[in-house]
Each structure stands twice: as C-alpha cells, then as structure tokens.
Amino acid sequence: MGVCGYLFLPWKCLVIVSLRLLFLVPTGVPVRSGDATFPKAMDNVTVRQGESATLRLWVRDRVTRVAWLNRSTILYAGNDKWCLDPRVVLLSNTQTQYSIEIQNVDVYDEGPYTCSVQTDNHPKTSRVHLIVQVSPKIVEISSDISINEGNNISLTCIATGRPEPTVTWR
Ligand SMILES: *[C@@H]1O[C@H](CO)[C@@H](O)[C@H](O)[C@H]1NC(C)=O
Ligand SMILES: *[C@@H]1O[C@H](CO)[C@@H](O)[C@H](O)[C@H]1NC(C)=O
Ligand SMILES: *[C@@H]1O[C@H](CO)[C@@H](O)[C@H](O)[C@H]1NC(C)=O
C-alpha cells in the first residue's frame, strides 16, 4: 500500500504538469492581450525606422530566469548582455517587469522576438513581432511633358515605403 501511494503521487503530478504545459504554453503562439497566462509579453510592436522599440515583459514572483531572444539569438539573459549590438539595452529587470530597448530600429530588425522565463522550474516562452514601418517616399516621377491632342502618354510614379504605399493620380 505504501509503495502504491508512493508511486501514484509522482505520476499524478507528472500528468498535471504535462497538462499545464499543454494548455498554458502553446509554443509559438503569440500571447494576446487579456490572456491570463504568465509570462505576458506585450502585443506586436510597430515602430518607424530610426525610432526605438521597447520589448516589455510582465513577470510575477517565483521567476528565476528571464531572457529576450531575437529569433534563436539571445540578446539579454537576466542582467547579462549576450549580443554585441550596441543598440540593444536593458531597460528594466525587476520583480514585475523585464524590458529591453532596441534603438535606431532598421528594417532588418523586423521579425519575431521571444521572451523566455523560468518559473518553478517550468520554462515558458511568449513571442512578439517587431514591425518596422518606413515613411512613403516618391523615388521616381515623370517630368513635365507636352503632347498633341489625341496622343497617348504614360506617366510614371514610383514610391517606396513599408507597408507598400498606394499611388494615386489626380
Ligand atoms: C535580429 O536578427 C536579424 C536577423 O539575424 C538581424 O538582422 C537583426 O540585426 C537583429 N536585430 C537585433 C536588434 O538583434
Ligand atoms: C503579430 O504579427 C504576426 C506577424 O505579422 C502575426 O502573424 C500575428 O497575428 C500578430 N499578432 C497579433 C496579436 O497582432
Ligand atoms: C492609345 O492607346 C489605345 C489603348 O491602348 C490604343 O488603342 C490606341 O491605338 C493608342 N493611340 C495611339 C495614337 O497610339
């Protein structure tokens, strides 16, 4: 009887742990606002090229390890900086918040960033997408032109930007 009780308990714990991992941390699914699970990262971040982006994570007590990653590269783990990029700085590492800042954001910084947290020996992750916008700019436009009535004419206007701008003629 004693053996049964001894075997039963860890098995039950294991099942509960597996279920918690299964239901609370669907890996790769972005955490939405209103989601009650922790860690909780902010929603997707949209910044303009040249601005600073803040990646914020709200944590609870019992968190033993925290890190922010750019794809699979660790940027910060706790107070330690792992990347060489001088634009990446630690903003706060407190009991409730773990945030980093990316300064002078450029288009190649766009993509998924992941925060990884260890609570009670359970690793959890949540993901946020950094979206970089670039102001629309006209790079090429037809010059003034005179033509005879009845002739066809093509006018060109090429613009760049993110998201891709729509060009209209009046
Ligand atoms: C994130 O990763 C991309 C792809 O490796 C890289 O081009 C970019 O500089 C990185 N940005 C930061 C802030 O680490
Ligand atoms: C965040 O951005 C990614 C990629 O653009 C998108 O798939 C995802 O739905 C976005 N999540 C939220 C919460 O807006
Ligand atoms: C002008 O374009 C129309 C449509 O493409 C064509 O049918 C017509 O022949 C063209 N006119 C001239 C003068 O090139």
Name the residue at shortest CA distance from atom 3 of ligand 3: 152
DSSP string, 37-103: -SSEE-S-EEEETTS-EEE-EE--TTEEEEEEEETTEEEEETTEE-S--TTEEEEEESSSBEEEEE-
Name the residue at shortest CA distance from atom 9 of ligand 3: 152
Q: Which is higher by pLDDT, 130 or 5? A: 130
Confidence band of 58 (pLDDT split at 50, 70, 90):
confident
Tell me the CA–centroid distance for residue 117 and ligand 2, in Å: 21
Confidence band of 146 (pLDDT split at 50, 70, 90):
very high
Domain assignments of the chain as residue spans, ordered by start:
27-134
Q: How far apart are CA 88 and CA 148, in angstroms?
A: 59
pLDDT at 37: 52
pTM: 0.70
* Sole residue written with tokens 């925060």: 115
CB of 70 closer than 6 angstroms to any ligand 1 atom: yes
pLDDT tens sequence across 5-56: 343 434 333 333 333 333 333 333 333 333 345 566 678 999 999 999 999 9
Confidence band of 63 (pLDDT split at 50, 70, 90):
confident
> What angle is formed at CA 49 by the lines to CA 90 and CA 111, rounded to 5 degrees?
65
Q: Is the pLDDT of residue 1 over 70?
A: no
Find the mean pLDDT for residues 68-77.
96
Q: How far apart are CA 131 and CA 109, in angstroms?
A: 8
Confidence band of 3 (pLDDT split at 50, 70, 90):
very low
Which ligand ends up closest to the CA of 45?
2
Specify the CATH architecture of the domain 27-134: Sandwich (2.60)
Q: Is the pLDDT of residue 101 over 70?
A: yes
**CA–CA distances in Å: residue 148 to residues 86, 151, 153:** 59, 6, 10
pLDDT at 15: 34
Segment holding 5, helix H or strand E: helix 2-24
Residue % of the chain over a pLDDT of 90? 62
Atom of ligand 1 minimally distant from the CA of 106: 9
> What angle is formed at CA 66 by the lines to CA 64 and CA 70, rounded to 5 degrees?
160
